[in-house]
Structure 1
Amino acid sequence: MAITLRAKWEFAAAGQALPRQQAEATFPSMTVVVNGRDDFTLENYRRVSEGGEPVTIGPRAREAMAAARADFLRLLESDRTQFIYGVTSSFGPRVKVTIPPEQQREHARGFEFRGNWARGFGGGYLDERVVRGIIFARLANFVAGNSKARPVIAERFAALLDGPLPPVPLDGEVGAGEVLPLAHVLRDFPRDGIEEGEANPVVNGSPVSAALAADAALRAAPRLDRAERVLALSAAAFGVPADAYAEELGELWGDEDEAAALAALRRHLASASPGRRQAGQVPASFLILGRVLGQAHRAVAGLTEAARVSLRSVTDNPVYVPPDAAHPLGQALSTGGFHNAMAYPALNALAAAWADLTLLIGRHVTALRADDPAAGLGSELSALAEEARAAAMPTLLPAAVNDPQDDVSSPVFGAYRREATAAECLDGALSLLAGEASRVLDAAGRKGPDPA
């Protein structure tokens, strides 16, 4: 039986292949080898998180870690009374407790990666691909020696990818850093033989933020492409004249993202029947497509950049800086690397872009149904638009009340969840618009853009 244009576009808008034409993505059986921070790319992240590939610590990384470990021990032995967080002091709220030199080795061996403080609450769990991504992102701290840890600790961490992977609560983040979700990731991490300075590199830092940003970024570009194709289909169905998306507008507006959005609309509309309406008959929701889609381009690019930077960042607290002329033994610096200030604003911006597009889609359906408004999808699309708008309310830095040490909390989990909700609303709205625009074109016997 022939498949109608409407059916083809409904599948395409949902990001699905046609029946019996859907091919499963396959990844070659390979291994990601990491020798330095430059190996922590979005592509390698995808290979590990989605492709299921293992990670091997390369020889250059093992050499760098071993050398830095020896340097750090020389720094520590030079004065075991100096302040090095988690090594000569206790952790978290007990940071003012000094660990006597003769107890520091035992203190390191006794560190607990799990317990009551690792409980999550509500909200479901992260997808397994994201848990794999967290493990990958954590290894960036190790490979150049900044973690102070021996190569065996990094290798143990990489071995967690062999599974089984533990469930990590989506709403398990209520601290200044990311110790709580990492405690879930570390459920099966072997604790035997931990030495001074090797506990914090495992549980401190902000690899969860890096993984959440990377996961959302990898899904953002395909979603934006689907949105552009479906909105071009809608413009074709309504009969928007070609000059609404003319190339000259990109130059006049002076923004490369808006120019890219206009180019995408022209590309998708190239094979469609020409527009039949005068510019004065076209609602604003069609005319502003280039500008609103341009903002979505900016948001996708912003999140992609935040993910790129975050994946290769060293975020340990404390972080070890190798020796130089001014510091012949190196330095152990207490830092705020456990807080990622790039990820959640970028996720906020993307959620807002998805919400705006969801609203535009509702206006398009109303315009396409102008001759028969009673048969429209107004209530369903209005509900999706309102849910997306609620999800797009910005997630900001939350205060932690009555906690003199961890007096702020990380907002990245909330931002990630809100972006995912807004994205789901957009996906649903795109499917409805694809079906409605295809119906209009089928009924008129007109050609629309190719959904492929």
Structure 2
Amino acid sequence: MVQLDASLTLAEFIRVVRNHERVVLALAAQERLAKGRAYVERLLERGDVVYGVTTGFGKFANVRIPLEKARELQRNLLLSHAIGVGEPFPTEVVRGMLLLRAQSLALGYSGVRPVVVERLVDFLNHNIHPVVPSQGSVGASGDLAPLAHMALPLIGEGEVEYQGRVRPAREVLREVGLEPLVLEAKEGLALINGTQAMTSLLALLVWDAEVLLKTADVAAAMSVEALKGSHKPFDPAVPRLRPHLGARAVAENLRKLLADSEIERSHANCSKVQDAYSLRAVPQVHGASRDAMRHVREVVERELVSVTDNPLVLWDEGRVISAGNFHGQPLALAADYAGIALAELANISERRVEQMLNPALSGLPAFLAEQGGLHSGLMISQYTAASLVSENKVLAHPASVDSIPTSANQEDHVSMGTHACRKAHQIYENTLWVLAIELASAAQALDFHKPLRPGKGVAAVYRRIREEVPHLDRDRYLRPELERLRQMIRAGEIIAVAESAVGALA
């Protein structure tokens, strides 16, 4: 069970979003919410002018709204702003949005009643998932359109996915015994003014990328053995003299994976002086991506415990502040950085594939084919990898450098953070494929070195791959095998096999 209070860890986020762990609202959070709401009620009684409470929104901020229209104002806000388009977000992204909005509100500085947060929690615990289109956010005033679609079902409007079917929200609420909420002053605005779509996307990416980074090290180690590369570039002295944390971790992983290699001993006295950068500089390249993703994780972890509402209701200080915590720029920059970091893993992986498939570089049969000419071997897998890498280069163009004014220039700088997060996810998916191609290529190349045995970590992974992907002795339909490898990478199975042989990887 995950308790919403003053903090939320990334691991807790994943447990709720993917494992459907039950959520409860802590008593301390309920008390904060009640105090915040009481302060808003006092403001209303005094007739204070407060943005989004007694005024319109955006360019209409100077339009006063009478108190008797407060409920209608909040309802209208959700209805008018729910105009996203495109394919719906996956269920796990929507669950993340529900959880993160509940957590942000539970901190108590948004002025909503406890029942609003409790209803978000109800949706999570009943597995009621609003249908949220993936396009339409510019990333400031937060994720307005996506969050409006997320919030609509709370008031009985819009559609939800429930038990595998998309149905009208009001119908599902009636079925599970929940009444549609009637939103009070400030509550509609508090539900949609925030960064929860982009944060959900980026949090999921950060979690998955940690498996991807380790798998890239395993793939590189296999390619080093397949190409009879030197192990010396991974000596501890190298990162000691240039002490980047990521490079040090990658070098350590490669030493573990390559330990006790008969292949290395077989070419100890060869005439080759240096390997290509895609082998020799693995710690520096993979390590830089690790350092980038470490920064991205820090940004996400801060956002998990942030109030991203406007205005901020500082009930404990007797103040209301209109500010910009909804702005997605911190996440937009981090998501762009993540996309670039993951794209580089694919870039260097594809170069190692080329090293193995090109007989002029590898000393192995062309395209690792037996009876080359009659059979093409893995020739076209490199084409696919090259295509994905080039697509990643387009996707890695920063979204955060763009901005288009909205709301009649009242909101004159926006982050495009949700675009950045969506692009980074596509880069991640493409990189999974490229690494699967590298693993398949390396396993095939290692077959040509038998009976020499690779390092013990590489050997363990090789054996597991061969349980799914047999040696390619003649051309066959390979896509299902690559898909299986891709699934194994995503699930962390490649890492688990490697760690069972060599211990925990950094």
CA deviation after TM superposition for structure 1 residue 220, in Å? 0.7
The answer to whether residue 414 in structure 2 is matched with residue 409 in structure 1 is yes
Query: Hey, what does 1:10 align to over in structure 2?
Result: none
Correspondence for 1:447 among 453, 456, 467 = 453
- Identify if the C-alpha distance between structure 1 residues 281 and 407 changes in structure 2 by more than 3 Å, giving closer, same or farther: same
Check whether the contact 2:292–2:341 (CA below 8 A) recurs between aligned residues: yes
Deviations 1:321-367 (A, max 9, x none): 1334xxxxx11111111112222222212211222222212221222
Corresponding letter in the other structure for 1:433: E
Check whether the contact 2:329–2:400 (CA below 8 A) recurs between aligned residues: no
- Identify if the C-alpha distance between structure 1 residues 120 and 199 changes in structure 2 by more than 3 Å, giving closer, same or farther: closer
Query: Hey, what does 2:189 align to over in structure 1?
Result: 200
Query: Hey, what does 1:83 align to over in structure 2?
Result: 49
Structure of higher RCO (CA pairs closer than 8 Å, 6+ residues apart): 1
Check whether the contact 2:148–2:191 (CA below 8 A) recurs between aligned residues: no
Secondary structure of the corresponding residue to residue 222 of structure 1: helix
Secondary structure of the corresponding residue to residue 413 of structure 2: coil
Check whether the contact 1:205–1:338 (CA below 8 A) recurs between aligned residues: yes
Q: TM-score if structure 2 supplies the norm length? A: 0.76
Query: Hey, what does 2:91 align to over in structure 1?
Result: 128
Secondary structure of the corresponding residue to residue 56 of structure 1: strand
Query: Hey, what does 2:136 align to over in structure 1?
Result: 172
Check whether the contact 2:32–2:106 (CA below 8 A) recurs between aligned residues: yes
Query: Hey, what does 2:314 align to over in structure 1?
Result: 321
Check whether the contact 1:242–1:274 (CA below 8 A) recurs between aligned residues: no
Structure 2 distance, partners of 1:232, 1:438, is 11
* Structure with the bigger percentage of helix: 2
Correspondence for 1:146 among 92, 105, 109 = 109
Check whether the contact 1:318–1:335 (CA below 8 A) recurs between aligned residues: yes
Query: Hey, what does 2:338 align to over in structure 1?
Result: 350
Secondary structure of the corresponding residue to residue 142 of structure 1: helix
Structure 2 distance, partners of 1:178, 1:305, is 21
Check whether the contact 2:296–2:338 (CA below 8 A) recurs between aligned residues: yes
Correspondence for 1:53 among 12, 17, 21 = 21
Deviations 1:8-44 (A, max 9, x none): xxxxxxxxxxxxxxxxxxxxxxx3221x222x11111
CA-based RMSD of the aligned residues comes to: 2.0
Query: Hey, what does 1:303 align to over in structure 2?
Result: 296
Correspondence for 1:66 among 13, 34, 38 = 34
- Identify if the C-alpha distance between structure 1 residues 207 and 278 changes in structure 2 by more than 3 Å, giving closer, same or farther: farther
CA deviation after TM superposition for structure 1 residue 291, in Å? 0.3
Structure 1 distance, partners of 2:150, 2:118, is 15
Corresponding letter in the other structure for 1:302: H
Paired-residue identity, %: 26
Corresponding letter in the other structure for 2:449: A
- Identify if the C-alpha distance between structure 1 residues 420 and 142 changes in structure 2 by more than 3 Å, giving closer, same or farther: closer
Alignment of 1:140-289 (within 5 A): 140-161=103-124, 162-174=126-138, 176=140, 177-190=142-155, 192-275=181-264, 276=267, 277=270, 280-289=273-282
Structure 1 distance, partners of 2:202, 2:33, is 27
Check whether the contact 2:139–2:327 (CA below 8 A) recurs between aligned residues: no
CA deviation after TM superposition for structure 1 residue 56, in Å? 1.2
Structure 1 distance, partners of 2:272, 2:106, is 58
Check whether the contact 2:250–2:286 (CA below 8 A) recurs between aligned residues: yes
Query: Hey, what does 2:385 align to over in structure 1?
Result: 381
Check whether the contact 1:108–1:198 (CA below 8 A) recurs between aligned residues: no
- Identify if the C-alpha distance between structure 1 residues 169 and 272 changes in structure 2 by more than 3 Å, giving closer, same or farther: farther
Structure 2 distance, partners of 1:279, 1:106, is 80
Deviations 1:286-305 (A, max 9, x none): 11111001111112212211
CA deviation after TM superposition for structure 1 residue 224, in Å? 0.8
- Identify if the C-alpha distance between structure 1 residues 310 and 401 changes in structure 2 by more than 3 Å, giving closer, same or farther: closer
Alignment of 1:416-435 (within 5 A): 416-435=421-440
CA deviation after TM superposition for structure 1 residue 246, in Å? 0.5
Check whether the contact 1:175–1:406 (CA below 8 A) recurs between aligned residues: no
